[in-house]
Structure 1
Amino acid sequence: MSNPQVNDILATVQIYLDGLYEGDTAKIRQAFHPASSLFAAIDGKLVNVPREDWCRLIESRPSPKAKDQTREHDRVLSVDITGPDTAMVKVNCAILPRFFTDYLSLIRLDGRWQVINKTYTAEMLAG
């Protein structure tokens, strides 16, 4: 039996993954709250990228889809519903040659799930 709450969360995550693969910032904006940011530790320093700065970066580069990359790395690893309006989802994806593990914090506002925070790590795939 499916859980409607999990299904709604996974639908938001799928919109994110589709937007990332397609380079479609309308989908990214749909999945990510306007106040959201991306966080990572790069070279020992905290990197904080607001959603709109990230969208401009996405728009400035060819999408994985345009480069005929596969989506073999896209997968949801876990969903942790921490309350009626909060959840954490761990996903893998790739924009070759980089492989990402993302921790997506989601909140439910106005009846829909949105990513409020993405904390990620990236590694280069051997190839």
Structure 2
Amino acid sequence: MKKIITLALSLAAIAFITFSFSHKDVEEAEAVEEVKELVYNAYINGAFNELNADAMRKGFHEDFAIYSPKGEAISKYPIANWVDGVAKRKAGNYDPKDPKNKWDHKFAHVDVTGHAAQVKVELYNQDKHVYTDYLSLLKFDSGWRIVAKVYMQH
């Protein structure tokens, strides 16, 4: 009888651990997909392919900035300036059918831990690798938002 109780408890523990890990894996996979969808809509299409300033405002946190080195200092380009530039460019002579306005992308890496995420995305224009971007995201009560970017222009 002791062996049956021990076996039953062991099987219950294994089932619990398996469920806990698989549930966690499902949550992480869902979070990765949410992050990728946000980056695709707000960044890839918002800032590049569709020049959709509204999508950018929705997906980027208002304190977002692009950070880049300037000598030993850090240059900071705020989201408001970037969104205004995207809106002006779209209102100008922007032709979405022009191949130079078509950007392809590759999610090289997406890492989510709880409410924080890091995305490495490669951007290509006319089959040429132009940028490698590192986007930092946080999950707020309202959902995921892009909060910072550093990049390498090739």
**1:67 aligned residue (98, 116, 119):** 98
- Structure 1 or 2: larger strand share? 1
Correspondence 1:90-101 to 2 at 5 A: 90-94=120-124, 99-101=130-132
Distance 1:51 1:30 in 2: 11
User: Structure 1 residues 52, 66: closer, same or farther in 2, change over 3 A?
Assistant: farther
- Partner residue of 1:86 out of 116, 127, 139: 116
Contact 1:64 1:95 in 2 (8 A): no
Question: Secondary structure, in 3 states, of the residue corresponding to 2:89?
Answer: coil
Alignment partners' CA distance in 2, 1:64 and 1:39: 29
1:24-57 deviation per Cα after TM superposition (whole angstroms, max 9, x unaligned): 1111111111111111225665321110011122
RMSD: 2.6
Unaligned runs of 5+ in 1: none
One-letter code aligned to 1:11: E
Q: For 2:63, which of 29, 32, 35 is the aligned residue?
A: 35
1:13-24 to 2 correspondences below 5 Å? 13-15=39-41, 16-20=43-47, 21-24=49-52
Q: TM-score, normalised to structure 2's length?
A: 0.67
Count of residues in correspondence between the two structures: 121
5+ residue gaps in structure 2? Answer: 1-24
Q: Pick from 50, 53, 59 the counterpart of residue 78 of structure 2.
A: 50
Q: Which has the higher contact order (CA 8 A, sep 6+)?
A: 1
Residue equivalent to 2:153: 122
Relative to its length, the structure with more helix (as a share) is 2
Deviation for aligned residue 1:66: 5.1
Question: Pick from 108, 113, 119: which aligns with 1:77?
Answer: 108
In the other structure, the counterpart of 2:31 is 5
Structure 1 45/121 Cα, relative in aligned 2: closer, same or farther at 3 Å?
farther
Contact 1:22 1:66 in 2 (8 A): no
Structure 1 partner of 2:143: 112
State whether residues 44 and 103 of structure 2, in contact with CA within 8 Å, keep that contact through their aligned partners in structure 1. Answer: no
Higher radius of gyration, 1 or 2: 2
Secondary structure at 2:40 match in 1: helix
CA distance in 2 between counterparts of 1:26 and 1:102 reads 21
